[in-house]
Amino acid sequence: MPQMRPLDPAFPIERQLAVDAEAVVLVNLFTLDTADEESFLKAWQDDAAIMKRQPGFISTQLHRALGDSPAYLNYAVWESTAAFRTAFANPEFRAKLSAYPASAVASPHLFRKVAVPDICVA
């Protein structure tokens, strides 16, 4: 299971899951040892396949940092925190977390879109 390190220690993922919101985005930054990239990618693929089948899942995309940095960013869109909360508690998903390499550190955080006039819509 990856170690969990919140992006915002004052408001970790466990607290975010209690907030009811529609149209949420999970941003999850993973850091790991370079030697573990192959096993990380396999573990991520397996758990993403489980999440993809869950009600309320919309999409996901994995990004790798440039250069020699073995950092990865996962961006996943969900219909609501309720849908993500249910998927996050799914026993099949939880069981797959043990496949992540020991060096993996996950920093998940939920976000909502923000409207900025003349720039972006919410």
Query: According to the model, what pLDDT value does residue 12 have?
Result: 96
User: What pLDDT band is residue 122 in, cutting at 50, 70 and 90?
Assistant: confident
Cα separation, 104 vs 59, in Å, equals 23
Instruction: Read off the tokens for 1.
Output: 């299971």
Q: Whole-model pTM?
A: 0.92
Residue 15 has pLDDT above 80, yes or no: yes
Residue range 58-67: mean pLDDT, rounded: 97
Q: Is the pLDDT of residue 6 over 90?
A: yes
CB atoms < 10 A from the CB of 78, how many? 27
Q: What is the token pair recorded at 60?
A: 């996901």
Query: Across the chain, where does the E strand assignment appear?
Result: 3-4, 22-31, 57-64, 71-80, 105-112
